[in-house]
Structure 1
Amino acid sequence: MSLPFRAIQYFIEVARCESFSQAAKRLHVSQSAVSHQVALLEESLGAQLFIRRGRQTMLSALGESYFNEVAGAISTIEEATVNFKQNDSRQVSLAVHGSLAVKWLIPALDEFRQRYTNIELTLQMLTQDGNFDIRWADCFITTKPPATGYQRYHLYDETLKPYCSKALFSEVNRLKNADELIKYPLLSAISAFASGKPGTDWQRWFEKANLQLPATAKVHHFSHLLLAAEAAKYGQGIALLNEFMTTEQERAENLFELPFHSIKTDDSFYFVYPSTTAKSPGVEALGDWLVNLCRDRSGRPALS
């Protein structure tokens, strides 16, 4: 006797939900389609599988016996299908800015690999933000998420805080007012604000304190936060740094956060991937892990 697999699948779902309408929603089909398939199965078996009492749907004695026999087999098939999809998506390629990868992501990768032993993650260096070539990478960390056609996870809003070396910290930490920082060289990163001019980061920092950066302030300019961070480590001044561009070891040994206010830049970082790969277990696992990693780093829930 040949039994239709679809009819058995629909029967299992109705039994689990105890409802034809709920089973239809889970299967993404109409209720009449579910009823038709169950009727075919009952006709094939020559037995009534459900008892309907008003809105309540219950398994008959024969229906419960049959369910106990076939449910395990269906679960085995479903599990095998999931495992096949996971194995099929083990290799995931992520494109990310080199600075973000080196200072934040790579130091944390061991935890990801221990948790997801079946995923082989490859990192690609993102040289041009906004270039989402899926022939090159499966997913991206970007400040310019596409408007359509992509799934996206919000990771964090970039925030700059004042840091200096251990040697300077003992002096600067005693300061009470923000305007006293001009006694020391200020290390400015042009990359902190895409549309800004040299010194924009410190200008905005002083403006937040209702102050003006004096023209006499000694400001040293760098093209990137990483360069400013290195200069700060060597005691060359005070830098406004993104916490995600420094390692925990650096903040413990070489870079010390000063007890003054922070400012937000114009950038927020997102994990994005094409909607066509939205059901890839490997990519989704990576996205969830990155969101949690940012939540742990900032101490605040990541916004969606």
Structure 2
Amino acid sequence: MSIPLRAIHYFVEAARAQSFSVASQRLHVSQSAVSHQIKGLEDFLGHPLFVRRGRDILLTALGEQYLQQVAPAIDTISHASIDMKQQKSRQLKLALHGSLAVKWLIPALDDFRLRYPNIDLSLQMLTQDGRFDTQFADCFITTQPPRTGFTQYHLYDERLKPYCAKPLWSEAQQLREPHLLTQFPLLSAASVFSSNQPGEDWRRWFAAVQQPLPPHTKIHHFSHVLLAVEAAKYGQGIALLNEFMTSTAERADSLYELPLHSIRTDDSFYFVYPNRAAKRIGLEALGKWLVALCKERSL
């Protein structure tokens, strides 16, 4: 008896998407091809797997049971095939947040390419941290490392320090009391802490030395730290930034650290990849290089 593996694959995709149309797009086939394969599978099994209501589809109880049994096997076959295909590949896809790539990694890539000329490293923009789709990328930089099934390298624990442009720095560097900074505008990035309170980054910075954020402080708000970086470079105020977000060139030319305290955020950064890909060319080298890069910059 020949098992209809293609039909089972199509069934799993359709069940997960709850749509023949979406499944056809993922599989790069026509919708009628998906429908035909699933009808053949239902005939083969002798049971309906879906209840069809116009364009909507719902799994039957037996369909749900079948999905739970066959989906892991399809995933195993898929992962094994991808891993086998990539064993000798020298191309690595690294997924990370765009801001991290632009401000920290890209300026350092020449060093990696000089050290490992045979590894073709490409960058993918990560839009959702904590989602590790190995068909999208081979490895990831994340603040939410998986608990199991992945090798991880700790890169650094995020700290925020006050930075500003040179004209402001020339005045502010003499100040030793945090509350005196509020004579200048403060730049706040909402993306740093998960809080609905505006100015949460500065509120925590003052709280670290048992001081409240002074009332009537002038704060300019930005949705993302990248925007706060640019505003600081143009002398619009003082921003709390981590060294990931301030490139070496920027710290030399346009952003200056004030000699005041820093604070830890809730985030630590990790480089991770699936355990099953451990033999993949370049993964270990990339992980060690990233760790060394962080140590070199005292992160």
Q: Same fold (TM over 0.5)?
A: yes
The CA deviation string for residues 158-180 of structure 1, in whole angstroms up to 9 with x for no partner, is 11000011111111011121110
Deviations, residues 90-121 of structure 1 (Å, cap 9, x unaligned): 11110011111011101111111111111111
Indicate the residue corresponding to 2:166 in structure 1.
166
Residue in structure 2 matched with residue 22 of structure 1 by the alignment: none
Structure-2 separation of matches of 1:116 and 1:126: 24
Cα-Cα RMSD: 1.6
8 Å contact from structure 1 (residues 100, 244) kept in 2: yes
Q: Check the 8 A contact 1:187/1:238 in 2, yes or no.
A: yes
- Residue 88 of structure 1: SS of its match in structure 2? coil
1:281 offset after TM fit, Å?
Answer: 3.1
CA distance, structure 1, for counterparts of residue 159 and residue 99 of structure 2: 16
Task: Normalising by structure 1, report the TM-score.
Answer: 0.68
Residues of 2 paired with 1:95 and 1:86: CA distance? Answer: 17
Q: Any stretches of 5+ residues in structure 1 without a counterpart?
A: 1-84, 300-304
Amino acid at match of 1:188: S
Give 1:194 deviation, angstroms. Answer: 2.1
- Within 1, Cα distance between the matches of 2:198 and 2:275? 38
Partner of 1:114: 114
Aligned pair count reads: 215
Contact 1:87–1:118 (CA<8 Å) still a contact in 2? no
* 1:89 Cα deviation after fit: 3.5
Secondary structure of 2:297's counterpart equals: helix
User: C-alpha deviations, 1:37-88, integer Å up to 9, x for none?
Assistant: xxxxxxxxxxxxxxxxxxxxxxxxxxxxxxxxxxxxxxxxxxxxxxxx9981
120-129 or 279-288: which moved more? 279-288
Question: Retained in 2: the 8 A contact 1:86–1:282?
Answer: no
Separation in structure 1 between the aligned mates of residue 87 and residue 276 of structure 2, nearest angstrom: 18
What's the offset of the Cα at 1:247? 1.0
Q: Which runs of 4+ in 1 moved over 6 A?
A: none
Partners of 1:88 and 1:98 in 2: CA distance: 28
Structure 2 Cα separation of the partners of residues 215 and 86 of structure 1: 58
Give the TM-score normalised by the residue count of structure 2: 0.70
1:130 and 2:130 matched? yes
Structure with max Cα Rg? 1
Q: Shift of residue 279 of structure 1?
A: 2.0
- For the 8 Å contact 1:142–1:272, the answer to whether it is kept is yes
Match of 1:285 in 2: 285
CA–CA distance in 1 between the matches of 2:120 and 2:281? 12
Question: 2:200 & 2:86 partners in 1: Cα distance?
Answer: 47
Q: Which amino acid aligns with 2:103?
A: K
Q: Distance in 2 between matches of 1:288 and 1:262?
A: 27
